[in-house]
Amino acid sequence: MTYQNVEELVAKLRLEADPADVDEVRSSIREELASIHPDKQHNREFRSSEDRERFNELVEALEYLETRKKLETALIPVSQVTELIKAINKVQEPTREEKAAKVKDECRSIYEKESKSKYSIPRISSGVLG
C-alpha cells in the first residue's frame, strides 16, 4: 500500500489519531503493532491471517512515516537538489580570463620545451677535450 499523505494513511488504516499530529499517528501505529506482535502471543505466532496482514500494513505505514520524516528534515529538500547542482557547477566554471591564462601557460610551456630541444648545444665534458 502506498500513501500520498498522512491523512490518507490514517483513513486507510482506520486509526484513531489526529492526522495533523504525525507523532500521535506514529504512536498509535506502534501501540497497535505491539498489541498484535507475534512475540506477545503465547505460541509466538499471529492469532489469525488478518492480524498478520494488519501487522504488515502497520509496518509499511511506519516505514512511510520514517521516510517522510527523513525527507522533510533533510538539509536540502530533494526537489531542489537538481537546481543546486546546476548552480554549483556554474559557479565552479572558470572565467574567460582564467581560461585564457591557462591556454597561454600551456602554449608557453610547449614553446619552451620545443625551443630547448631544437637549439640546445650538447655539453662537452673535460674528458672529451683532453
* Per-residue pLDDT, 79: 78
Give the position of cell 556554474. Answer: 90
* Per-residue pLDDT, 121: 62
The least confident of 36-40, 102-106, 123-127 is 123-127
In angstroms, the CA 66 to CA 60 distance is 10
Contact by Cβ (8 Å): 61, 9: yes
Contact by Cβ (8 Å): 3, 19: no
In angstroms, the CA 78 to CA 113 distance is 50
The domain locations on the chain are 6-73, 76-117
Cβ burial 83-106 (10 Å sphere, 16+ → b, else e): eeeeeeeeeeeeeeeeeeeeeeee
In angstroms, the CA 67 to CA 11 distance is 19
Contact by Cβ (8 Å): 85, 53: no
Q: What tens digit of pLDDT does each residue of 42-84 get?
A: 777 888 888 889 889 999 999 999 988 887 777 777 778 889 8
Residue 104 has pLDDT above 90, yes or no: yes
